[in-house]
């Protein structure tokens, strides 16, 4: 892969996979044991914890359950041609098993839905539910702030939600706190991006000339 891993990351260990979830996937979505093997490859490629990759001047952050997506890499791993690889990944995406999002500069990221459930995480169902609830509440707080400051209605809510999921906790705080700085430092308000663009381009990391409370 053309991406350089930045910082420390765990490179050894083992992965427990839910047999019940694999059986359900095989019976309802995947048509062969080979396809089950392809999906297990995706699970093994997913980050166990936050990891940063760099290509040229672009830094990409993968959260737990995510991996940098390069189609040519999956072709080699699966031993399939490009069209077959695309069909398989699109089938997983259509059935909600994975999510695929753009991270900018032609970089895509695969996110395994319910990663903790797949890898038999020790986090209880109640804890996962509480985590999802807190995540949604923080998103709604951000959206309310963004509408209030920019006067822009929220569009592409699905994309915004996926971008928020993939944003680290520290960057979520920056994204919320810098909405006003971003708006006030954009000279022509017609160029103010919607919430999705703001998150995708990480505009909250800009160097602002004026700081507003």
Q: Is residue 213 part of a domain?
A: no
- What's the structural domain count of the chain? 2
As beta bridge partners, residue 99 has 111
Round the average pLDDT of the chain to a whole number and report it. Answer: 84
Same-domain pairing of 192 and 104: no
Question: How confident is residue 63, by pLDDT bands cut at 50, 70 and 90?
Answer: confident
Element (H, E) at 76: helix 71-78
**CA quadruple 20, 26, 27, 30: dihedral sign:** positive
Same-domain pairing of 114 and 145: no
pLDDT at 191: 92
pLDDT at 49: 82
> Is the whole-model pTM more than 0.85?
no
User: Is the predicted pLDDT of residue 13 greater than 60, yes or no?
Assistant: no
Domain ranges, residue 151: 125-205
**CA quadruple 150, 154, 160, 165: dihedral sign:** positive
Question: How confident is residue 53, by pLDDT bands cut at 50, 70 and 90?
Answer: confident
Same-domain pairing of 113 and 137: no
CATH of residue 37's domain is: 1.10.10.10
Same-domain pairing of 12 and 104: yes
What is the pLDDT averaged over residues 172-181? Answer: 93
Same-domain pairing of 19 and 100: yes
pLDDT in tens, 85-143: 999 999 999 998 998 887 766 678 899 988 888 887 666 667 778 888 898 999 999 99
């Amino acid at each position: 892969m053309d991406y350089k891993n930045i910082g420390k990351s765990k490179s050894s260990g083992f992965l427990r996979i839910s047999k019940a979830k694999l059986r359900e996937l095989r019976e309802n979505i995947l048509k062969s044991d080979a396809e089950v093997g392809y999906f297990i490859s995706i699970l093994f490629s997913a980050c166990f914890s936050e990891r940063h990759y760099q290509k040229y001047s672009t830094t990409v952050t993968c959260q737990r359950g995510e991996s940098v997506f390069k189609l040519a890499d999956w072709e080699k791993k699966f031993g399939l041609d490009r069209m077959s690889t695309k069909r398989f990944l699109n089938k997983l995406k259509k059935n909600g098993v994975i999510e695929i999002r753009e991270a900018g500069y032609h970089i895509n990221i695969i996110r395994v839905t319910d990663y903790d459930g797949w890898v038999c995480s020790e986090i209880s169902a109640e804890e996962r539910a509480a985590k999802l609830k807190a995540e949604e509440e923080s998103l709604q707080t951000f959206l309310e702030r963004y509408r209030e400051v920019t006067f822009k209605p929220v569009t592409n809510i699905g994309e915004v939600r996926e971008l928020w999921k993939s944003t680290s906790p520290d960057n979520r705080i920056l994204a919320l706190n810098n909405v006003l700085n971003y708006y006030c430092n954009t000279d022509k308000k017609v160029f103010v991006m919607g919430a999705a663009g703001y998150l995708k381009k990480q505009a909250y990391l800009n160097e602002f000339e004026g700081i507003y409370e």
